[in-house]
Amino acid sequence: MAIMTLEHSSRPQFHVTPPQGRLNDPNGVFLDPQDRNIIHVFYQHDPGFPHAAKRTGWAHTTAALTGPDALRWRHYPNALYPDAEYDSHGCYSGGAVIDKAGNVKLFYTGNRKTIDPASGEESRHATQNIVHADAVSDDYMGGVYRKDAANPLIPAPHTGYTAHYRDPMITIDPETESGWRMVLGAQRADETGAVVLYRSVDLYQWEWGGELQFDTATATPGRAPDLVPGGYMWECPNLITMRDQVTGEVLDLLIVCPQGLAATTDSSGTTHYANSDQCGYLLGRVSGTAMKIHSGFSELDNGHHFYAPQIIGETFADDRHVVAETAILIGWLGLPGQDDMPSLDSEGWVHCLSTPRRLSIHDGKLRQQLILPTADNAVPVENQQNKNIPKVSAGNAWWARLYPNGQNVTWTLVDSNGGSGLEIRVESGESAAIAITGDAGLRRLAINVDELLVYIDGCVVEVEVNGGEACFSTVAFPPNGERWVTFHKECD
């Protein structure tokens, strides 16, 4: 049997992938209390997939954000297993928080399924639970994790909601002097999506706050067709307070993942809701359970594969760490139900996480900038303006800055055998847009493009437009053990 080497593998070098099995949502993201340059990322992990029954737990990785070893992910033993009655069918997604004593606490949704003996119908039971994470800075074990005896802290959905009630994300409550706020993704009894809030003074006793309501009376449209999206379920909510870097205004950033939106293309040719499951954000101000929308719904990523991100504050404008100047985001480069990827058969793993992005708000608009490995570890390729970029002679990780210079340009990704792959087209002038075409179809956004940063790492292609005005993420496997080595450029 041939031995698979990194040179012939599509596994990314600087993105989180599971050693084996299936990865999905990032969970419990936090910056290490002893060294805030170290980011901890847990993720949903089914190590036996697809050969064993689903048994979702949490895997654990860390990496430096800067320095010579930036984004070299270190894997530890899995942190959570579905071994309690209340999570017997999965430790589902959740977040992390560092308490006032500097201790790390993980929160997650426990999933339990039961069968009615009379009718044979299956029921789902969702609970919200806390885990004590000790010695998380341990270089060998990556921590000791203990589920609290008081679990479940929230034993059932609130009245009026179904068992699709999950993904707790906790922050310091900006409306109290010393409390905490939790947001949960929820499905109402009429099978529509919502975000609900809870509040606590001690992280253990949680009081129902209510459903988040939206005031759009003075809202300006985002990039999506809806000021507030619909859908049958909203997953993986994130709510964080940030300061606008230009105006100084304090705004709340709400990220949600609505399921069940109908794909559409607008008059500019922009594709909306093109993936099976969506992810986007709103900007406004939250008071109690009311959010006054300033900027309506915009898709967070315009590519083919992006879902279920988590965000954490990185730098802050205040001593309480309530108002973030910048935040770190990391997402899942996959989608529910789309596990048929070449790596599963060839190497026994499927899906990966995005590179971390640094978020900031500039003049009322969200900016997302890709965090890259050092130039010593991944190759920055010089773009010769109007020429094809040089071929990358070795390694799977590289990036290039591409400039359309006011022209209509098509860049085609080329593999080491000369084969063509993903296509990036920029149109200039009155119909200015970027369009990316791959195996999963066309994704297009109407925008004036001055510069593209394209980051290739194995099967991952991530594109940053105009310094972070927009992002596209796509998983594109090169054929037959080849690797992506260059772009071919053509101008109309």
Domains parsed from the chain with CATH numbers: 21-370 (2.115.10.20), 379-491 (2.60.120.560)
Task: Indicate the DSSP class of residue 1.
Answer: -
φ and ψ at 253, to 5 degrees? -105, 115
Q: What is the pLDDT of residue 480?
A: 79
Q: What is the mean pLDDT of residues 194-203?
A: 98
- At residue 73, the pLDDT reads 97
DSSP strands (E only) in 116-203: 122-134, 144-147, 161-172, 180-188, 193-200
Q: Catalogue the long-range contacts made by 59-65 (C-beta closer than 8 Å, 24 or more residues apart).
A: 59/18, 59/23, 60/142, 60/143, 61/16, 62/32, 62/38, 62/142, 63/38, 63/39, 64/37, 64/38, 64/39, 65/37, 65/38, 65/39, 65/328, 65/356, 65/371
Residue type, 12: P
Q: Is the pLDDT score of 246 beyond 60?
A: yes
pLDDT of residue 54: 87
- For 53, the 3-state DSSP assignment is coil
Structure tokens at 99: 């308490």
- Single pTM value for the model: 0.95
Max Cα–Cα distance, the chain, nearest Å: 71
Q: Looking at residues 138-147, what average pLDDT do you find?
A: 86
Dihedral Cα 344, 347, 350, 355, nearest 10 deg = -150
pLDDT value of position 283 = 98
Residue 21 · residue 322 · CB < 8 Å? no
In this predicted structure, the answer to whether residue 341 has a pLDDT above a threshold of 70 is yes
Q: Is residue 140 within 8 Å of residue 77, measured between CB atoms? A: no
Contact status, residue 27 vs residue 60, Cβ threshold 8 Å: no
Per the CB < 8 A criterion, the answer to whether 438 and 304 are in contact is yes
332: its two tokens: 């899942």
Are the beta carbons of 483 and 396 closer than 8 angstroms? yes
CA distance 341 to 335: 11
Banded model confidence at residue 481, pLDDT cuts 50, 70, 90: confident
Q: Are 237 and 264 in contact (CB under 8 A)?
A: no
Residues 6+ apart with CB under 8 A from 455: 355, 370, 372, 398, 399, 461, 462, 463, 464
Please classify residue 225 by burial: count the beta carbons closer than 10 Å to its beta carbon, then call 0-12 exposed, 13-18 middle and 19+ buried: middle
Q: Which residues pair with 370 in a beta bridge?
A: 357
Once rounded to an integer, what is the mean pLDDT over residues 142-155? 96
Q: How far is the C-alpha of 92 from the C-alpha of 108, rounded, in Å?
A: 6
pLDDT at 1: 27
Q: Tell how strand 57-64 and strand 365-370 pair up.
A: unpaired
Q: Compute the distance between CA of residue 380 and CA of residue 67 in angstroms, rounded to an integer.
A: 16
pLDDT of residue 2: 34
Of 30, 90, 102, the closest CA to residue 61 belongs to 30
β strands within 222-353, DSSP E: 233-243, 250-259, 264-265, 271-272, 280-287, 290-299, 307-316, 323-332, 349-350
- In this structure, the strands spanning 213-215 and 290-299 are parallel
Beta carbons of 462 and 472 less than 8 angstroms apart: yes
Q: What is the CA radius of gyration of the chain?
A: 22
Using the predicted structure, report yes or no on whether residue 195 has a pLDDT greater than 60.
yes
Residue 25 has pLDDT above 50, yes or no: yes
Rounded to the nearest integer, the mean pLDDT of the chain is 93
pLDDT value of residue 9: 82
Residue closest to 394 by CA, chosen among 4, 5, 1, 3 = 5
Does residue 80 surpass a pLDDT of 70?
Answer: yes
Say if CB 112 and CB 125 are below 8 A apart.
Answer: yes
Which pLDDT value is given to residue 424? 97
- Predicted confidence band of residue 412 (pLDDT cuts 50, 70, 90): very high
Percent of the chain at pLDDT above 90? Answer: 86
What DSSP state is assigned to residue 347?
H
H/E stretch holding 29: strand 21-32
